[in-house]
Amino acid sequence: MFTTHATFLLAGQTVHHITFDPSTFNDADLLWLPHYHQLADAGRKRKADHLAGRIAAFHALNGQTVPGIGNNGEPLWPTGITGSISHSGTQAVAICRQNGLTGIDCEAIIDEKESREIQDGVIHPQEAQLLTQSGLPFDLAFTLTFSAKESLFKALFPQVQAWMGFDSARITALNADTLTLTLTRPLPPFAQNQPFTLHWCRLDAMVVTLICDE
């Protein structure tokens, strides 16, 4: 599969960015992955997305290893490393760190019509009001909220080990480069009303959100 690798900084962290062409993917590309056999029954799109994400992770780990697949589909990072992977369309991103909560997500900006159609499943009316008042276009603000919740849940999962719906956290602040999510219920060891700050950036028609709390 044809890929290109680049990096950019977000919140002072190096994010590894892969642009890939799914039309150039073939099954033999998966043989590069130590866990390729676990993808035998996956569809072509899933295989290409997974491969692109693992290539990004390989770069994030300085070419030392490729994260495997956990029982819940999560990446298995080396001991002492926290990391996160995301993909959307023809883009994939990955980041890893020595410690702390780490979660990243990339999303193509959801157009306003679709945002309005699906908002009830993603945000509470109070969140919708905050997004409207943020000064950002609603489609951008909504996509950022969707993405940030995905980033947060990826970051928390290694400790929570439980499924988290979009109603598990609520956006309580949004500005030009950060946003705050607050838990709406206890997710042990994290308490109800605990806030988390995430950083975000826009890359053309895509947004990237990142949590990198200590």
Q: What are 153's two structure tokens? A: 């849940």
- Is the pLDDT assigned to residue 214 strictly greater than 70? no
End-to-end CA distance of the chain: give it in Å, rounded: 36
Give me the sign of the Cα torsion angle 130, 131, 132, 134: positive
What 3-state class would DSSP assign to 145?
helix
**pLDDT tens, position by position, 138-186:** 999 999 999 999 999 999 999 998 889 999 999 999 999 999 999 999 9
Can you tell me which residue has the tokens 């490729």?
Answer: 66
Domains of the chain are 2-99 (no CATH), 105-211 (3.90.470)
Cβ–Cβ under 8 Å, residues 50 and 16: no
Averaged confidence pLDDT in the chain:
95
**pLDDT tens, position by position, 126-139:** 999 999 999 999 99
β-pairing, 195-203 vs 103-108, is unpaired
The pLDDT value recorded for residue 167 is 95
Cβ–Cβ under 8 Å, residues 180 and 171: yes
Q: What are 112's two structure tokens? A: 């306003």
- For residues 65 and 180, give the distance between their C-alpha atoms in angstroms, rounded to a whole number: 33
Q: What are 177's two structure tokens? A: 């480069």
Strand segments, DSSP code E, in 57-143 are: 68-69, 75-76, 82-88, 91-97, 103-108
Q: What are 21's two structure tokens? A: 């062409």
**pLDDT tens, position by position, 42-59:** 999 999 999 999 999 999
- Is the pLDDT assigned to residue 84 strictly greater than 70? yes
- Is the pLDDT assigned to residue 85 strictly greater than 80? yes
β-pairing, 68-69 vs 75-76, is antiparallel
